[in-house]
Structure 1
Amino acid sequence: PGATQDLLFLSLANLEAKSRPVTALLPPRDKSASDELYREGSMLRRQLAKLALIFSYMYSELSALFPGGKYCGHTYQLTKTEAHAFWREHCGARCVLPWAEFQSLLCTCHPVESGCTALALRSTIDLTCSGHVSIFEFDIFTRLFQPWPTLLRNWQLLAVDHPGYMAFLTYDEVRARLQDCRDKPGSYIFRPSCTRLGQWAIGHVSSDGSILQTIPHNKPLFKALLEGQKEGFYLYPDGKNHNPDLTEFCHMEAHQLIHVSEEQLQLYWAMNSTFELCKICAEANKDVKIEPCGHLLCSRCLAAWQ
C-alpha cells in the first residue's frame, strides 16, 4: 500500500540522516574515542544520548505500526478516545503527515500561534525529528499531556513554563542532574519515560538525600505533581525555590489559544539543550540565530520554516 511505502521511505531517510551526526561524533576505527565522549555531562556525550533516544523512538514507532511485520497504521488505535476521533476525522487512514499539514489540522481543534509557539510544539511532538508527525507520535503526545480538552494548555504549563520539565533525558542523566540537589530534599525533575512511552518519570531527592525515580500510573502528571507537593516530595523544580502553581489545571477552559513568548521559548530551548545540534532536525549544527527571539537552528530548517 502507498501508506506503507511512504512510512518506510520516510523512516529509512530519517535513519540515514540521523546516522550522519553519529558518524561525526564517533572516532574512526583505528583511533580511540575522545575522553569527552565518556565524560558524563559533556557536549559530545549529551549529543550522542539524544541521538540514541531518537533511534529508540524510531524503533518503537516502527514496532507499533508494523506489529509482527504487518502494517497496521490504518487501524492503529490511539489510547485517548478524543485523540483517536480527531486523527481519523482529519487524517483518515493515513499514519503520518508533514508537520505543516498536521499543524493546520490541529489548529481546527486546538488553536496554536505560528512562530515561536509552533516551533516549541513541533520539538515536543516530533520525537523522531523527521519533520513529520505520525499517529504513533501523536498518541504519545496526547497521553503525556492529557486531558484532551485543554491539551495544548497542559503542554504549555508542563513543558514550556515548568522549570522541572526535561526532554530527551535518560534515567542516568536524571540522577546526574539531581546530584547537585542532594542537600535539598524535595528537589525534583520530570521527563517523558524512554522505556514506557506515553508515561512520565519523576525523579526527586528524598529526605535522606537519595535520588528516587518513579512512574505515576493512571493519572495525569499534574495530579501526581500536586499530590507529591502535598506530601513534601515535589517542592523544588530542578532545585529552584519557586514551585509553579498547578491548581489552574482544575479550572481551565477548553481549546484556549496558546501563546509562547520569545523569552519562554529561550528558556525552553535552554532546558532541552543539545548544545550544537539543531533543535528541529537533530542532524545539522546550529548556524543561524533568529532575531529578536534569539534561538538557534540550522539553515535548512530555517528555510523550511520560512
Structure 2
Amino acid sequence: MNIGIIGCGLIGKKRALNISSEDKIFAVCDINSVSAKELGSLYNCKSLNNWKELIADKSVDIVVVSTTHNLLAEISLAAIKNGKHVLVEKPAARNADELQKVLKIYNKTKKIIVKVGFNHRFHPAMQKAKAMISSGDIGKLMFIRGRYGHGGRVGYDKEWRAVPQISGGGELLDQGMHLIDLSRWYMGDFSKSTGITKTYFWNMKVEDNAFMLLTTKNRQVAQLHVSWTEWKNTFSLEIYGKTGKIAIDGLGKSYGTEKLTYYKMSEKMGPPDTKVFEFPGEDNSWKEEWLDFKKAIKTGKEPCGNLEDACKALQIVKAIYKENRNDYR
C-alpha cells in the first residue's frame, strides 16, 4: 500500500523506519521544506509542504499523521473524508471535544481503519503482562501504580509543547496519555477520575507534573504520576492482583533495560516466588504496532488502540484539567 507521512520530525521518521517492506512510502509532507526533502530523499519519494495536497492524492492509501497536536484532528478528519486509512499519533487531538468530531464522522464510514499511536501497548513487557492478566496469573486486579517521566532538555520550555494553543496541555497530555491508556487496557474503563496538575520547574503555561487517581466501577484504582522533572528517565508500572504482582520497569535506552518481574504469592504468604523476564535490544514496538494496523486493514476489525480508546483517555484528561481549572483551549 502507498503511504503518505505528514510531519517529518522525530516521530514521523520513526514511523517511516518501521513501515513493512510490503508497503511503499509514496510521499512525505512537512511545513519545513528542509525536513520534508531530507525524509523524501531517504525513501526516494515526493516531498510536499501542503498536507491537503497529499491527502487529495488518489495514489495514497494510508496517511500517517505525526504533526504537532493542533493539527492532528483536522488532518485525520480530512483524510477520513478522502477515504484514507489513518494512523494518527497520540493524543490524536488537543482535547476530547476535538476528537469526538473525528470519531463521529469515522463511525459513519465503511472500510476505513483509523488507529491511534499507542505504541507502548506493543512493548514486549506490556504484551506479556496483558497475556498474564488475561490468563489469571495474578488473580483479580486490585490496583495499579505507575510512574513515567523525563527531565526535558535545555530550552524545553521554549518548544511547542509549552504553548497551550498548539499542544493542548502539558505532561498529562504527553506521557500521561500512555499511562492512562495502559491502565484502561489492563483494568477496564474508569468511572471516576481526580488529579492534580502542577508546574514546578519549567517556565511554561502548561503543567510539568500530573498526579492521577482513577477508579473503576468495581473500585479498582490506578495511581499514576507523570513528570517532566524526572531527572533520571523513568518508567515503572506495577499491577497488583489478589494472587500476585507484575512489575514492569524500563523501556530501553535511557529508560533502562525493559523487564517484567512476576511475583507469585505463596499460599503460606511470606516471600513470593519471583521470575524476571528481560527484553534487551531494539525497540520493536513501532514495527509491531504497524503490523497490527495492517492486520486491522486486512480484516476490517478495530486495531489495538483506536479512536475510542483515545477519546476515553482524553475524557479523563479533560476532567482533571477542569478540576484544576486548566483551560488550554
**TM-score category by the smaller chain?**
under 0.3
TM-score, normalised to structure 1's length?
0.25
TM-score (norm 2): 0.24
Higher strand share: 2
